[in-house]
Amino acid sequence: MTPPDLIPGHYGLFGITAPAPKDAWVVGDYVRAGRLKPVLEHWDGTSWTPAGPGVPLPPHTREAYFDTVDSSSASNVWAGGAFQTTGSGANHPLLEHYNGTKWKHVVVPASLGMDVILKVATSARKDVWVFGMNHECTSPDTFVYRWDGTNWTQAQTYNSCSTSGPPPTGPVVQALFSGGSNTAWALGYTFGGDPLNTPYSDCLGAHCPNHPAGCATGAFGQFLGGTGSGPDTWLTGWAKDPGTGTQQPLACHWNGAAWRDLSPPADVTTNRVFNAAAELPGGQVWAVGSIRPKSVFRNFAMRYTPGMGWQQMAFPSPDVSGEHEDMLTTIVHAAGTRHVLWAIDDNAGIFQHP
């Protein structure tokens, strides 16, 4: 399913969304003449075509890339990332909106404090959430904002900086997803607590559960993805098995009254991680990530069926030579279908099921 205009080994894909049965968007970046350029490709049910030429970047853009894309309909698609202008090495947040006909650049005020948008999540055109960061490592350095079509409202801030600055002093947020109307989930892990690096979740907005997820309490691990909304919400990630130290998939479900740990049975002979999840009509859930039976990570997928539990699903790992590792990073359900799913891995592979 690789777009034909992308040269293998020279690009990365980081987000995918499918707002209709024959309508999907994938985003990322590639390098040309030593500079990062944005990737934005569209699937029309038959083939991929580059949409980038139709995306109006800010004036004097020298470099740009996309990290994320999400949609609530074919006429409400949002893509986010960062850009740099000629003569400056500073990053600025990049946000683009597609209204079903054309793309439009959305100005993100500098006063919001972000230099990159890492995740965007939307349930409607006037209900858009962005998770961004400031790599200067000022305090706070990580932000979640909501756009209501007119104004930006700060929902939460965090001190998550660790890659290029001091250690975090609070939760490290790594993911964001829409939990329905005026609701979003920030996910990651704690830092500096006791015990250290436990799965962390933060529900933001009007329709949140009345208490945080109680799964994997006290376990070393992370929440990395989620799916569903309201009284049918899933948080997924991994937790370390206390006896063997292996990573095991974590799945936590909110049914409107209580949280329940619905993680797959542990397989302590190998390491397995859930990076993302997608719910299908009827309550079936697919979760994807990686499995490491020996020394190399391979693509990993499981399916949860109500009343039947989890089943591991066959999923290709294209590079069987062992020179590169494969890890599924994203999975989404194609709206308007019962069973169609899209997924991407960290080697820029695009997969469609069935």
User: Three-class SS string for the chain?
Assistant: CCCCCCCCCCEEEEEEEEEECCEEEEEEEEEECCEEEEEEEEECCCCEEECHHHCCCCCCEEEEEEEEEEEEECCEEEEEEEEEECCCCCCEEEEEEECCCCEEECCCCHHHCCCEEEEEEEEECCEEEEEEECCCCCCCCEEEEEECCCCEEEEEEECCCCCCCCCCCCCEEEEEEECCCCEEEEEEECCCCCCCCCEEEEEEECCCCCCCCCCCCCCCEEEEEEEEECCEEEEEEEEECCCCCCEEEEEEEECCCCEEECCCCCCCCCEEEEEEEEECCCCCEEEEEEEECCCCCEEEEEEEECCCEEEEECCCCCCCCCCCCCCEEEEEECCCCCCCEEEEECCCCEEEEC
Considering the domain architecture, whether residues 209 and 313 belong to the same structural domain is answered as yes
Q: How confident is the model at residue 218 (pLDDT cuts 50, 70, 90)?
A: confident
Cβ atoms of 248 and 241 closer than 8 Å: yes
Look at residue 317 in the predicted model and tell me its pLDDT. 73
Give burial (CB, 10 Å; 0-12/13-18/19+) of 70: buried
pLDDT, tens digit (0-9, with 9 covering 90-100), for 290-330: 998 877 889 999 999 999 999 999 988 766 555 567 899 99
Considering the domain architecture, whether residues 141 and 200 belong to the same structural domain is answered as no
Considering the domain architecture, whether residues 184 and 142 belong to the same structural domain is answered as no
C-alpha distance across the termini of the chain, in Å = 13
Choosing from 123, 138, 170, the residue where a domain stops is 170
Considering the domain architecture, whether residues 47 and 130 belong to the same structural domain is answered as yes
pLDDT, tens digit (0-9, with 9 covering 90-100), for 22-71: 999 999 999 888 889 999 999 999 999 999 888 999 999 999 999 999 99
Considering the domain architecture, whether residues 9 and 148 belong to the same structural domain is answered as yes
What b/e string do you get for 53-69 counting C-beta neighbours within 10 Å, with b at 16 or more?
eebebeeebebbbbbbb
Look at residue 266 in the predicted model and tell me its pLDDT. 94
Considering the domain architecture, whether residues 135 and 204 belong to the same structural domain is answered as no
Cβ atoms of 68 and 29 closer than 8 Å: no
Look at residue 19 in the predicted model and tell me its pLDDT. 98
Task: Give CA 210 to chain center in angstroms.
Answer: 24
Look at residue 193 in the predicted model and tell me its pLDDT. 61
Q: How far apart are CA 13 and CA 349, in angstroms?
A: 8
Considering the domain architecture, whether residues 90 and 188 belong to the same structural domain is answered as no
Domain boundaries, position 256: 174-354
Q: Examine the pLDDT at 254 and tell me if it is beyond 90.
A: yes
pTM of the model: 0.94
Look at residue 296 in the predicted model and tell me its pLDDT. 83
Average pLDDT over every residue of 95-122: 97
Q: CATH code at 5?
A: 2.120.10.10
Q: C-alpha angle with apex 178: 328 to 240, nearest 5 degrees? A: 45
Choosing from 170, 189, 209, the residue where a domain stops is 170
Considering the domain architecture, whether residues 213 and 229 belong to the same structural domain is answered as yes
Q: C-alpha angle with apex 331: 18 to 265, nearest 5 degrees? A: 150
Considering the domain architecture, whether residues 54 and 104 belong to the same structural domain is answered as yes
Residue, of 3 and 110, whose pLDDT is higher = 110
Q: How far apart are CA 272 and CA 27, in angstroms?
A: 26
pLDDT, tens digit (0-9, with 9 covering 90-100), for 163-176: 556 677 778 999 99
Number of domains in the chain: 2
Considering the domain architecture, whether residues 165 and 185 belong to the same structural domain is answered as no
Average pLDDT over every residue of 190-198: 74
Choosing from 137, 154, 170, the residue where a domain stops is 170
Q: C-alpha angle with apex 184: 180 to 190, nearest 5 degrees? A: 145
List the one residue out of 346, 344, 342, 345 whose CA is nearest residue 354. Answer: 342
Percent of the chain with pLDDT over 90: 76
Considering the domain architecture, whether residues 282 and 142 belong to the same structural domain is answered as no
Look at residue 166 in the predicted model and tell me its pLDDT. 67
Q: 14 phi and psi, to 5 degrees?
A: -125, -10
Considering the domain architecture, whether residues 246 and 332 belong to the same structural domain is answered as yes
